Structure 1
Amino acid sequence: MLNHTPADILAAGPDAIAAAFGLTTRNPHPLADELTTAPLSRLAYAAGLAIRPQQPHENDRVVMARGMQSSDFAGLLASASTTLANRRFTAVAEHRAFCATLECRDFKPTEIATTDVDGELPEVGDLHQIALGRVLVGNGATAQLRTFARVLRASRQLIVNDNAGMLADAVENLGTAAARTEAREVYAALESNPTMDDGELAFHADHGNIIASALDGTSLGQGMAALRTMTLVGGNQADLSAAHLVVAADLELAARKLIHEAGLQITVTATGRLATGRWYLLPSHEAAPTIATLRLKGSTQPVLIESWQEHEFDGSSMRARCDTGAVLVARTLIRGGV
C-alpha cells in the first residue's frame, strides 16, 4: 500500500491533510501530493506500521485500525484541524472588531481596572521642576477565564473511505461554535449591566452613558456627543470618537443606512443576541477599551484542537477547546434604545 517508509509518509502528513482540508501551505512536503487521493487511510496505515510491522495474519484494515488509535495519526488530524477551525472562527467572530483582548494568567478570578491620570500634561520651562502626577484607578470589574470544549470523533468508516471533506466540515463547525460561544459571552456582558467594583451600575443616567431613545440621527448624534463630553475617573474629559455601532438584528438595515447616509467612519456590527431595539456606541478599543474578550496568557489562537484518547471508540478522536470569556471594563460607551 505504501511506496515509502512510514516515517516519510507521516512526515508528509501535515501538508497532505492541510491540502485535503483546502488549506494552502508554503513549500509542501514532496510526498504530500502523492497522498491527496487517499490521505486519511494512507496516513492511518503508515501510523499503524510505525507502531508495529504488518503481520502475516493482518490485512491492511487491521493495520489502519491500529494507526487510527495512535498519537501520530491523531496529532496530524489535530494540527490541521486547529488551523481550519481558527480560520472559521476568525470569519465568524464579528464581535472581535469592537472588543479589546485581555490576558489571564490562569483560570482564577482576575481584577480588571480602569485607569486615568489627574489632568493633562503641564508645560515645563527650562530648569523648571516637573510636577508629579497620579495614576487613578476606578470602575474596575472582575473577570474569569472559562473553558468550553467538545469532542469530535472521526469514525473508522470515515477514515477508510477518505471522507476528508466531511471531516473538514465538522471541524469548521467547531470553529463556528467557538466563535458563537465567545460572542454569547460578549453580548451577555453588555446586556447584563453589571455592577462595577465601585458599587455602581455600568450603565446609568448619572454616568451619562444611557440614551433612552430609538436609533436615529438625533440619538446617534447625542451618543457621539456623550462620548466626547463624559468625565473619566481622573476628572478628564473623555473626548472619544465613536468607532463602532453595535445593534440588535431588527436595527441592522436602519443602522447601516444611517451611517452610510451620514458619511460616518463608524463600523456597524449587528447581532441577534441583543434585545430588540438595543444599540451601543463604542470608541475604538485601541483608544479606550470598554468590552474585552479573555484569553490564557501565552495562547496564540482562540481554538485548540488536540488528540483525545478514547480506546473504546473505533476511529480517532479529537477535543476542541476554547478558553475564553468577556468582561465590561469601562463605562466609556453608550447604551441606547427604549
Structure 2
Amino acid sequence: MKKNKTGMFMPKAKANDENANSWFSIKAQSNNNAVIKLYDEIGGWGVTARNFAQELANLGDIKNIELRIDSPGGDVFEGITIYNLLKGLDAYVTVYIDGLAASMGSVIAMAGDKIIMPSTAFMMIHKPWGGQVGDADDLRAYADLLDKVETTLSETYMKKTGLGAEEIAALLKEETWFSGAEAVEAGFADELSNQSQTTHYANSKRMENYNMPDKLKALMKPKASTTQQPTVPNAVATEADILARVQEAEVTRRAGISNIFANFGGKHKDIENECLLDMSCSVDAAKDKVLAHLGKGTVPAIPQDQSHFHAGNGNIVGDSVASAILSRAGHQARDADNIYNNYNLRELARASLADRGIACSTQAPLAMIGMAFTHTSSDFGQILIDVAHKSLLKGWEDSAETFEMWTNKGSLSDFKTSNRVGLDELGSLRKVKEGAEYKYITTSDRAEQIALATYGEIFAITRQAIINDDLSALTRIPTMMGRAAKATIGDLVYAILTSNPTMSDNKTLFHSEHGNTGTGSISDINALDKLRQLMRKQKSGKRNLNIRPEYILGPTALEAQANQTIRSASVKGSDANSGIVNPLQNFATYIAEPRLDDDSAVKFYMAAAQGQDTIEVAYLDGIDTPYIEQQEGFTVDGVSTKVRIDAGVAPLDYRGFVRSTGA
C-alpha cells in the first residue's frame, strides 16, 4: 500500500478520436473475446475498481480476455478488488505486460491464467507501505494492517509461482525488479514474447518512490507521442484519505457480519464478537464459523467414508443437474421442464456448489471445479461418476462378445484357488436295501482349479475437460473401457481353446486319450456325425453321460459354409429330388469367433449346452459387471477414475468338448 505522494492523470481518448491513446479501455470483440487495456495508475486519478467493475459487467458472457498492462501500481485496496474481479470470471485471462507491472500492477497481473512478457518489459514487487498519524496505539494498529495486507499480496504471488512464504517475503523486502526473462524464470510470468516494449512511466513521479536500479532506468524510456497530453495538478493522497478507505471497508465488513448473526436472535454472541474483533475475518469466513458451530455434535446421514450423494425430492437441484448430464450423455430422455438442460458442465458445477451454500462466485474456473469435485457437501463428483458408470455398463452390455452364449457363469468369494468337481466324480446311484443305511459317496482327488484375477485401467476426468464441456471423459472413454473389459474376458476364454492347457490328469484338454479329438471339414456330414458321436459316448466310470453338442465354435471363415451344411434340409451335393434328407439339420448352432481365425481358418470345436461342464467364467461374489471407483488425483488436475473387473476363467471338464482339425 504505497503512500501515493504523486499521481499523474492521463485522460481517456475521446470516443470520436480513433487515433488518440486510450489509457484504460475494455472493448468486446467477436467470438466472445475482449481486450482490456490498463495503461494507468490504480485508483486515485487512474483506474478505479468501480469503473473497472462497471466496464467488466458491460461485456456480458466473455470466454477469453486479453489484459494488457503498463502500470506503476497504486492503491492496494482498489488493486485487490480488480484482482478479485478478474479471478471471479469464468473467462480465460491472458495477461501481456507491455511495459511495466509494478507494485499493485504486478498483483493484478497474477489474476491471469497465462502471463506473457517481452524481454524488455519489467515487473516489480515490494512490501506495502503507507503513512498514519495518531497515538502509539494507532501506529501499532496501522503496522498490523500493513502486515495483513502483505500476507494477502504474498498469497497472490505464491499461488502463481509456487514459491514459499519466506521466499516471497525476501523478494518483497528487497523491492525486486524482474526483466521479462527473470520473471519467467522465477515463475511470475509464463513465457516471453517477441515484442519489444517500453513503458511510458519512466519519468513518472511515482517512480521516484521506487528503488529502481540505474541500469533499468537507462533502459526505460517514455513512449513517443505525437500529441501533447494535458496534465492536471498532482494529487496527493493523505494519511487521512487512506485511513478513511480502511475505515469504510471495516464498517462494511462489520455490518455484513452483524447481519449474519442477527438471524439467530441474539444467540452465539461469543462467535460474533470473535469475528468482529478479527479484522482478517471476512463475511464468508464468519458464515463458515457459525455453520461449523451449529454442526457440532450432529451425525451425518451418510457415513464419512462413503460418497456424499444427495438424492430424492429433497435434492431438486442435484437431481436436476444429474438429469441434465444423463440426457446429454444419451442415458435417459430429455426432461423438457429441466432448467439446467442448456447449462454446460462448468455452469452445472457452479450450480451444484451454490445449491449447497458454498461461496464460489469469485473462484477461478479451475479452483471452482476442484471444489465441486472435492467439497464434502458437493454431489457433483458423484453425479459425474454415475454418468461414467452408466457409460461403462453400456459399453459392457453392447459389446459383441460370444463367450457368454456357451460358457458357465460362476461365483467366487475370494481370490484363493478353488477346486471344481468334474463329471467323472459321480457314477450311478447305488441301490439302498430296505432298512439299510445310505452310504456316503467317495470322490477322487482329481479336480480342476480356478482362481480370480483383477483386470483394470485408470482414466482421468480432468478439470480442463469440465471447463471445455468435453463429455467424452464421461461417455466415450468409459464406454470403450466397458467394451475392453468384456473383450478381456473373451480373450481369456478363447485362449483356453487355442492353447489347449493341461488338465489335472496331466493330459491336455484336447487329447486322444480323452476321446475328444477328430478330423474332417465342416461341410462333411459324415465327419460331423463322427465328432457328434465322440461327445455322446463320453462316460463317467461305466455310466454313459449322453452329452449332446449344442454349439459349434469356429472361425468366421467357416461361418457361411457351416450354416449351409447344418441348416440345409438335404445333404450337400445330393439331388434335391433324391429324397436324401440331412440327418444333422439344426443339430447345433454355429458361433463364429474372430479370435479362432487367428489360430486356424479350418479348425473348429463342438461344445455342450450352457450349464454343462465346459469353461467357467467366475466373478467375485457373482458381480458380472465392471466396478468403477473415483479418487481425487495427485498426478492429474482432476480425478482419477479406476475401472476394474475381478474374474477367473478355467476349463472344468474335457467331456463337454470335441475338436476337429478341419482337415
TM-score, structure 2 normalization: 0.45
Unpaired segments ≥5 residues, structure 1? none
Residue in 1 that maps onto 2:536: 228
> Kindly tell me: are residues 70 and 148 of structure 1, through their superposed partners in 2, closer, same or farther at Cα, counting changes over 3 Å?
farther
Residue 209 of structure 1 and its aligned partner are, at CA, apart by 0.6
Residue 228 of structure 1 and its aligned partner are, at CA, apart by 1.2
Distance in 1 separating the partners of 2:639 and 2:325: 14
Distance in 2 separating the partners of 1:193 and 1:60: 56
| Matching of residue 295 in structure 1 with residue 658 in structure 2 | no
> Kindly tell me: are residues 200 and 186 of structure 1, through their superposed partners in 2, closer, same or farther at Cα, counting changes over 3 Å?
same
> Kindly tell me: are residues 111 and 210 of structure 1, through their superposed partners in 2, closer, same or farther at Cα, counting changes over 3 Å?
same
Residue in 1 that maps onto 2:464: 157
Residue in 2 that maps onto 1:278: 603
| Matching of residue 269 in structure 1 with residue 591 in structure 2 | yes
Distance in 2 separating the partners of 1:32 and 1:278: 58
Percent identity reads 20
> Kindly tell me: are residues 290 and 9 of structure 1, through their superposed partners in 2, closer, same or farther at Cα, counting changes over 3 Å?
same
Residue 201 of structure 1 and its aligned partner are, at CA, apart by 2.0
Distance in 2 separating the partners of 1:101 and 1:137: 24
How do residues 322-337 of structure 1 correspond to structure 2 at under 5 angstroms?
322-332=645-655, 333-337=657-661
Q: Could you tell me which amino acid in structure 2 is paired with residue 177 of structure 1?
A: A
Residue in 1 that maps onto 2:426: 117
Q: Secondary structure at the match of 2:480?
A: helix
Distance in 2 separating the partners of 1:259 and 1:43: 57
> Kindly tell me: are residues 142 and 47 of structure 1, through their superposed partners in 2, closer, same or farther at Cα, counting changes over 3 Å?
farther
Q: Could you tell me which amino acid in structure 1 is paired with residue 427 of structure 2?
A: D
Q: Choose 130-139 or 181-190, whichever is displaced more.
A: 130-139
> Kindly tell me: are residues 264 and 199 of structure 1, through their superposed partners in 2, closer, same or farther at Cα, counting changes over 3 Å?
same
Q: Choose 72-81 or 177-186, whichever is displaced more.
A: 72-81
> Kindly tell me: are residues 150 and 132 of structure 1, through their superposed partners in 2, closer, same or farther at Cα, counting changes over 3 Å?
same
Residue 137 of structure 1 and its aligned partner are, at CA, apart by 4.9
Q: Tell me which of 478, 481, 486 is aligned to 1:171.
A: 478
Tell me if the contact between 1:6 and 1:47 (Cα under 8 Å) persists in the aligned partners.
Answer: no
Tell me if the contact between 2:321 and 2:352 (Cα under 8 Å) persists in the aligned partners.
Answer: no
Structure with larger Rg: 2
Distance in 2 separating the partners of 1:23 and 1:284: 35
Structure ranking higher on relative contact order (CA contacts 8 Å, 6+ apart)? 1
Distance in 2 separating the partners of 1:150 and 1:327: 23
Distance in 1 separating the partners of 2:351 and 2:386: 17
> Kindly tell me: are residues 163 and 38 of structure 1, through their superposed partners in 2, closer, same or farther at Cα, counting changes over 3 Å?
farther
Residue 179 of structure 1 and its aligned partner are, at CA, apart by 1.1
> Kindly tell me: are residues 43 and 153 of structure 1, through their superposed partners in 2, closer, same or farther at Cα, counting changes over 3 Å?
same
Residue in 2 that maps onto 1:21: 329
| Matching of residue 257 in structure 1 with residue 564 in structure 2 | yes
Q: Choose 5-14 or 37-46, whichever is displaced more.
A: 5-14
Q: Tell me which of 404, 407, 424 is aligned to 1:99.
A: 407
> Kindly tell me: are residues 109 and 214 of structure 1, through their superposed partners in 2, closer, same or farther at Cα, counting changes over 3 Å?
same
Residue 166 of structure 1 and its aligned partner are, at CA, apart by 6.2
> Kindly tell me: are residues 280 and 162 of structure 1, through their superposed partners in 2, closer, same or farther at Cα, counting changes over 3 Å?
same
How do residues 23-172 of structure 1 correspond to structure 2 at under 5 angstroms?
23-24=331-332, 33-38=338-343, 40-49=345-354, 53-55=358-360, 57-59=362-364, 62-69=367-374, 72-92=379-399, 93-115=401-423, 116-119=425-428, 132=439, 134=441, 136-137=443-444, 140-164=447-471, 167-172=474-479
> Kindly tell me: are residues 57 and 182 of structure 1, through their superposed partners in 2, closer, same or farther at Cα, counting changes over 3 Å?
same
Distance in 2 separating the partners of 1:81 and 1:265: 43
How do residues 142-221 of structure 1 correspond to structure 2 at under 5 angstroms?
142-164=449-471, 167-216=474-523, 217-221=525-529
Residue 253 of structure 1 and its aligned partner are, at CA, apart by 2.4
> Kindly tell me: are residues 33 and 266 of structure 1, through their superposed partners in 2, closer, same or farther at Cα, counting changes over 3 Å?
farther
Q: Tell me which of 308, 314, 322 is aligned to 2:637.
A: 314
Distance in 1 separating the partners of 2:350 and 2:605: 55
Distance in 1 separating the partners of 2:328 and 2:646: 28
Give CA deviations for 1:81-118 in whole Å, capped at 9, x if unaligned.
22332232233232111110121221222222214432
Distance in 2 separating the partners of 1:235 and 1:40: 68
Q: Secondary structure at the match of 1:243?
A: strand
Give CA deviations for 1:164-214 in whole Å, capped at 9, x if unaligned.
356312111111111111111001122222222222222111111111333
Tell me if the contact between 1:47 and 1:70 (Cα under 8 Å) persists in the aligned partners.
Answer: no
Higher strand share: 1
Q: Secondary structure at the match of 2:368?
A: helix
Residue 54 of structure 1 and its aligned partner are, at CA, apart by 2.1
Give CA deviations for 1:280-328 in whole Å, capped at 9, x if unaligned.
1111122x1211112101x433211111321342233311111123100
Tell me if the contact between 1:112 and 1:329 (Cα under 8 Å) persists in the aligned partners.
Answer: yes
Residue 159 of structure 1 and its aligned partner are, at CA, apart by 1.8
How many residue pairs are counted as aligned between the two chains? 327
> Kindly tell me: are residues 39 and 56 of structure 1, through their superposed partners in 2, closer, same or farther at Cα, counting changes over 3 Å?
closer
Distance in 1 separating the partners of 2:470 and 2:337: 17
Residue 250 of structure 1 and its aligned partner are, at CA, apart by 2.2
Q: Secondary structure at the match of 1:256?
A: helix
Q: Secondary structure at the match of 2:458?
A: strand
Residue 131 of structure 1 and its aligned partner are, at CA, apart by 6.2
Tell me if the contact between 1:45 and 1:67 (Cα under 8 Å) persists in the aligned partners.
Answer: yes
Q: Could you tell me which amino acid in structure 2 is paired with residue 264 of structure 1?
A: N
Q: Could you tell me which amino acid in structure 2 is paired with residue 218 of structure 1?
A: N
Tell me if the contact between 2:617 and 2:650 (Cα under 8 Å) persists in the aligned partners.
Answer: yes
Q: Secondary structure at the match of 1:153?
A: strand
Tell me if the contact between 1:244 and 1:281 (Cα under 8 Å) persists in the aligned partners.
Answer: yes
Give CA deviations for 1:241-287 in whole Å, capped at 9, x if unaligned.
2111111232222223333225415332222222112211111122x
Distance in 2 separating the partners of 1:174 and 1:22: 17
> Kindly tell me: are residues 55 and 86 of structure 1, through their superposed partners in 2, closer, same or farther at Cα, counting changes over 3 Å?
closer
Residue 6 of structure 1 and its aligned partner are, at CA, apart by 11
Distance in 1 separating the partners of 2:347 and 2:361: 19
Residue in 1 that maps onto 2:26: none
> Kindly tell me: are residues 75 and 221 of structure 1, through their superposed partners in 2, closer, same or farther at Cα, counting changes over 3 Å?
farther
Q: Secondary structure at the match of 1:308?
A: strand
TM-score, structure 1 normalization: 0.83
